Amino acid sequence: MIAPLLIFFVSVAGIAVALLRPEYSDFLLLAGPSAAASLVLCLAALWRRRPGRSGKSRPVIVIDGSNVMHWDDGTPSLKPVKALLDHLARSGYSAGIVFDANAGYKLFGRHMNDQALARMLSLKTDHVLVVPRGTPADPFILDAARKMNARVVTNDRFRDWADGYPEVRSRDYLIRGSFRSGQLTLELTQPA
């Protein structure tokens, strides 16, 4: 926050000089936008530091949506997915979810794209991915988790992918769970 604040004061000084000395009026072209931009950055920093916000980004969890949607006695349903998303949000996590291409058919008898499933789950579209038809979701899940330094919620062990993604063998990397009688159980522990 110190750098934007310093830039703001230097820019205000430049504006004052440009207004007081006509020969330096061109400084307004640089100092004016600079003052405005640095003020926005200062306000954003203060907003992040307001009470109730840590300013830190939330840890990310990647959800194997096609696995989780079967947690309710093996019947495809969004109930366990919604319960999981609610639980993760309450626990301070940000979640992204990846579905197989046939998830919409299993759930509703028709194809559903990212936007449709995101709308049904009350998520931003960029937090939901329906993989292309004929493509396994597993590498998308594991790539996303690797890129975001995230763990994965699934009951799958990803044994077929362990050579390329050795992290699946790590303790606490894969988070198991269940959904019975409307109750979510999640083996979510803090990583060591």
- For residue 97, the cross-strand partners are 63, 128
Side-chain half-sphere CA neighbours of 180 within 13 A: 4
DSSP assignments along the chain, one per residue: -HHHHHHHHHHHHHHHHHHH-GGGTTHHHHHHHHHHHHHHHHHHHHHHTSTT--SSPPPEEEEEHHHHTTTTTT---SHHHHHHHHHHHHTT-EEEEEE-TTHHHHHHSS---HHHHHHHHT--GGGEEEPPTTS-SHHHHHHHHHHTT-EEE-S---GGGTTT-GGGGSTTTEE-EEEETTEEEE------
Q: What are phi and psi of 130, to 5 degrees?
A: -105, 115
- For residue 175, the cross-strand partners are 153
Q: Extract long-range pairs of 180-185: CB within 8 Å, 24+ residues apart.
A: 180/72, 180/73, 182/79, 182/83, 184/80, 184/83, 184/84, 184/87
Per-residue pLDDT of the chain (192 residues; tens, 9 = 90+): 567 777 777 777 878 888 888 888 887 788 777 767 776 776 666 665 544 445 467 899 999 999 999 999 899 999 999 999 999 999 999 999 999 999 999 999 999 999 999 999 999 999 999 999 998 999 999 999 999 999 999 999 999 999 999 999 998 899 999 999 999 999 877 654
**pLDDT recorded at residue 56:** 60
Sorted by where each begins, the domain ranges of the chain are 2-48, 60-186
Q: Does domain 60-186 have CATH number 3.40.50.11980?
A: yes
Handedness of CA 9, 12, 16, 17 (dihedral sign): positive
**pLDDT recorded at residue 192:** 46
